[in-house]
Amino acid sequence: MQRFDLLIVGAGPVGLALALALKDSGYSVALADARDRRAVRSDPRVLALSHGSRQTLARLGVWANLRPTAIHTIHISQQGGLGRTLIDHRDYDQAALGYVVSAGELAAALGDAVEASGVPLLDNCKVGELAADSENVSASLIGERSAPLSARLVACAEGGMQDDDPQIVRHDYDQHALITQASVAGGHRHIAYERFTPGGPLALLPNGDGFAIVHTVSPEQADRLIEMPDAHYLGTLQATIGTRVQLTGVATRLRYPLGLRYRKHAAGERTVWLGNAAQTLHPVAGQGFNLALRDVWALARHLREADGIDPGSPHLLRAYATGRGLDRQGTIRFTDGLVRLFSNDSGVLRHLRGAGLLGLDTLPPLRHFVAKRMMFGARAWP
């Protein structure tokens, strides 16, 4: 039987980042993934990385291998209502508020670094049911390397949220996200746009020479928009974003259903859940992966500071979960609140939203608080 100190289930960006953060920690670490190790490199989605995530990826040694597009300014507005807010990087003495990078490119950089580190990656192997006792977690690999194994701690970094699990809180937003790439006349000028509409937010993220589009609509609208000729869909996007930019073309569209799902407790008996195994958030404000990376870094810090102590000890896992509680719950509520507040056509709320956006623009302390929370997560709290 193979034995490890830590088994990471899921070799996407979150699992890979944790493996890399612990590569020279003294713990024996292994990754297992049901997919081929190259599969995540073709992920077509883009990630909006906060300034804090940039710092973490630099510490992991992979930032220099990425080709990110910087976000210098964030323009926030609502369709059919007054009020707008501008957040500019120069107000915070930072080179950028955040960055946009391909999810596949990030997975490739992390994967190459993990392979170079010597951490074993068991791909094409599904991890069977986990059984924890007082000393270990037992599991079996199903696939090309079918075999029993055990670990003192298991980190589930992908999937694992079953609909019948009483520990899972869920809410269906009745929205789908259409993602695509758009070209733009005159360049993006490193401005990201978040445009709130009654059907959901529209995000334009500077990416390469154009924009990565995340367009949130109802499922019925998604049915129509996914089948539209490119020229007609381009017109829909242009009408939604207004005259701020001139879009000149769109690429193939993909769609994803959106909902909120999260575990009440991110740590259990010799098990910790990270990334989409711990929480799946709405893409508004691009908080999901940034929260996951903060969780990864915090867990790695707790394990390193344990200095050889049992990595699955209840004391260590309680300390980790308690330390991450404020940021985790705050980010979940922040994104959920934005969706509920802005994804409706209430006249009263439209005026209140406009006043709120105007307040953010005219009250620097409030705007700075929101900006720093987006850049650093819990570190923005007093």
Q: Is the pTM of this model over 0.75?
A: yes
The verdict on residue 347 lying in a domain is no
The verdict on residue 125 lying in a domain is yes
pLDDT (0 to 100) of residue 57: 97
28-84 pLDDT, tens digit each: 999 999 999 999 999 989 999 998 899 999 999 999 999 999 999 999 888 766 667
The verdict on residue 312 lying in a domain is yes
How many whole angstroms separate alpha carbon 136 and alpha carbon 112?
Answer: 30
Overall domain count for the chain? 1
Q: CB neighbours of 243 closer than 8 A, spacing ≥ 6? A: none
Q: Which of 61, 60, 62, 2 is nearest to 30 (CA)?
A: 2
Phi, psi of 93 (to 5 degrees): 55, 45
The verdict on residue 348 lying in a domain is no
Tell me the average pLDDT of the chain: 89
The verdict on residue 97 lying in a domain is no
Q: Is the pLDDT at 331 greater than 70, yes or no?
A: yes
Question: To which residue do tokens 């507040």 refer?
Answer: 341
The verdict on residue 321 lying in a domain is yes
Interval 354-361 mean pLDDT? 56
275-289 pLDDT, tens digit each: 999 999 999 888 999
Print the domain residue range for 31.
2-43+103-167+261-341
Interval 311-329 mean pLDDT? 95
Q: How confident is the model at residue 380 (pLDDT cuts 50, 70, 90)?
A: very low
179-203 pLDDT, tens digit each: 999 999 999 999 999 988 888 889 9
Q: Which of 67, 87, 68 is nearest to 76 (CA)?
A: 87
The verdict on residue 52 lying in a domain is no
Q: How confident is the model at residue 7 (pLDDT cuts 50, 70, 90)?
A: very high
Question: To which residue do tokens 């599991």 refer?
Answer: 139
pLDDT (0 to 100) of residue 382: 35
Per DSSP, helices labelled H in the chain are 13-21, 51-59, 103-117, 219-227, 230-241, 288-306, 314-342, 347-362, 364-376
Is the CB of residue 332 less than 8 Å from the CB of residue 282? no
pLDDT (0 to 100) of residue 342: 73
For the chain, the distance separating the N- and C-terminal CA atoms, rounded to the nearest angstrom, is: 48
Q: How confident is the model at residue 113 (pLDDT cuts 50, 70, 90)?
A: very high
pLDDT (0 to 100) of residue 348: 47
Interval 116-145 mean pLDDT? 90
The verdict on residue 322 lying in a domain is yes
Q: CB neighbours of 325 closer than 8 A, spacing ≥ 6? A: none
pLDDT (0 to 100) of residue 1: 76
pLDDT (0 to 100) of residue 256: 94
pLDDT (0 to 100) of residue 76: 87
CATH assignment at residue 304: 3.50.50.60
Q: Is the pLDDT at 381 greater than 50, yes or no?
A: no
